[in-house]
Amino acid sequence: MSSGRPGGPEAFEVTSRDGTAIRGVRRPGPGEPLVLVHGVAMDRRIWYESGFLEALGVDAHVITVDLRGRGESEKVGSAEGHGIDRYVEDLRAVFDRFGARRYGVFGTYFGGRIALAAAGTDPRVARAFSFCAHGEEVEIPEGAVEEEARAVEGPDGHRYLRDHFTRKGAPPWMVEACGRVDRDELGAATRGLLYGSDRRTERGHPDQELVLITAEGDADLAPFHAGEKRLGARLWLVGSPTRVRAAGRLAEVGRRLARKEAGS
Ligand SMILES: CC(C)[C@@H]1NC(=O)[C@@H]2CCCN2C(=O)C/N=C(\N[C@H](C(=O)N[C@@H](Cc2ccccc2)C(=O)N[C@H](CC(=O)O)C2=N[C@H](C(=O)O)CS2)C(C)C)[C@H](C(C)C)NC1=O
């Protein structure tokens, strides 16, 4: 006799378009599923450790995914295998698996950029939230990317990232996450930025809801305001001096999202 309440969390595995195994966990619930997409030096555990998942509330229908090369998902090892279109294919494989007509997608940093890219190409994305990454065209500094790829794949790669984020005032969950990512995959994912992540994202369809979130102290608010105009996106600002420090406010954004759901 079902208690009427949805079952517990269930692990899943899907195969992305290029054959890469993508794994994650779905926590069933009423309403539209929300797919959570982590950033480059992270995995799906950040949603638990940041308090974001708890902030969404026990009834939220949530799907947390390990992008290729991170967490439990299959490693790819090549920069081409870490192009932004591959990440969007990872998400589309998840959308296919659960067969919903509409999904929300919420991503942090580059995960937010992926959420916006998915919204621009897959009509099933009804809502996309990008935490601290905008959708405008960017100049990818090849030199800096190659330099950073060398740093993160080197023997001190984890220390490089942990020191950087500690210095920048990132919360512990974000610093710790760096150490969980395979260094070869970190290097490949960094070089992967050269494969399509410079492109601006487009609005997918008129009634899609796009939300850009960044720090009120963000030194470069212009591309976020550009997104309000060009994409008709909403802009949420969190009380933080920088984008990296805004990670400490992720749970607060989860509560705002939960209130919004309750209101809608
Ligand atoms: C500072 C350094 C530790 C950090 N490196 C990381 O952390 C991870 C680990 C290794 C590679 N890493 C990247 O991220 C790639 N490297 C960069 N990417 C630039 C960038 O602007 N990225 C955006 C997202 C984005 C991407 C492509 C297109 C648009 C937007 C972003 O959100 N950056 C913030 C930092 C910030 O906002 O100041 C963070 N990104 C992390 C994440 O995405 O998980 C968590 S914090 C692009 C333009 C070349 C820069 C650049 C110096 C090489 N280095 C970083 O950014």
pLDDT given at position 34: 98
Tokens of 37: 């997409």
Burial class of residue 144 in the structure, from the number of CB atoms within 10 Å of its CB (0-12 exposed, 13-18 middle, 19+ buried): exposed
- Model confidence pLDDT, tens digit, residues 47-97: 999 999 999 998 899 999 999 999 999 999 999 999 999 999 999 999 999
* Alpha helices by DSSP H, the chain: 46-49, 52-56, 84-98, 110-121, 142-153, 157-167, 172-178, 183-192, 222-231, 243-246, 250-263
Ligand 1 within 6 A of CB of 148? yes
Looking at the CA of residue 243, tell me the nearest atom of ligand 1. Answer: 37
Ligand 1 within 6 A of CB of 40? yes
pLDDT given at position 4: 56
Looking at the CA of residue 161, tell me the nearest atom of ligand 1. Answer: 3
pLDDT given at position 1: 46
Architecture of the domain delimited by 10-262: 3-Layer(aba) Sandwich (3.40)
Ligand 1 within 6 A of CB of 140? yes
- Model confidence pLDDT, tens digit, residues 223-240: 999 999 999 999 999 999
Ligand 1 within 6 A of CB of 70? no
pLDDT given at position 261: 84
pLDDT given at position 3: 52
d(CA 84, CA 111): 10
Looking at the CA of residue 141, tell me the nearest atom of ligand 1. Answer: 49
d(CA 150, CA 22): 26
- Model confidence pLDDT, tens digit, residues 147-180: 999 999 999 999 999 999 999 999 999 999 999 9
Per-residue confidence at 262, pLDDT binned at 50, 70, 90? confident
d(CA 62, CA 230): 29
- How far is C-alpha 143 from the chain's CA centre? 25
Q: What are the structural domain ranges in the chain?
A: 10-262
Confidence (pTM): 0.97
Of residues 262 and 222, more confidently modeled: 222
User: Closest residue (by CA) to atom 25 of ligand 1?
Assistant: 110
| Mean of the per-residue pLDDT values of the chain | 96
- Model confidence pLDDT, tens digit, residues 3-41: 556 689 999 999 999 999 999 999 999 989 999 999 999
- Model confidence pLDDT, tens digit, residues 197-207: 999 999 999 99
Ligand 1 within 6 A of CB of 149? no
Interface predicted TM-score (ipTM) over 0.85: yes
**pLDDT for 118 beyond 60:** yes
Ligand 1 within 6 A of CB of 152? yes
Ligand 1 within 6 A of CB of 244? yes
Whether the CB-CB separation of 192 and 146 falls below 8 Å is answered with no
Is residue 144 within a helix (H) or strand (E), and if so which, with residue range?
Answer: helix 142-153
d(CA 153, CA 178): 12
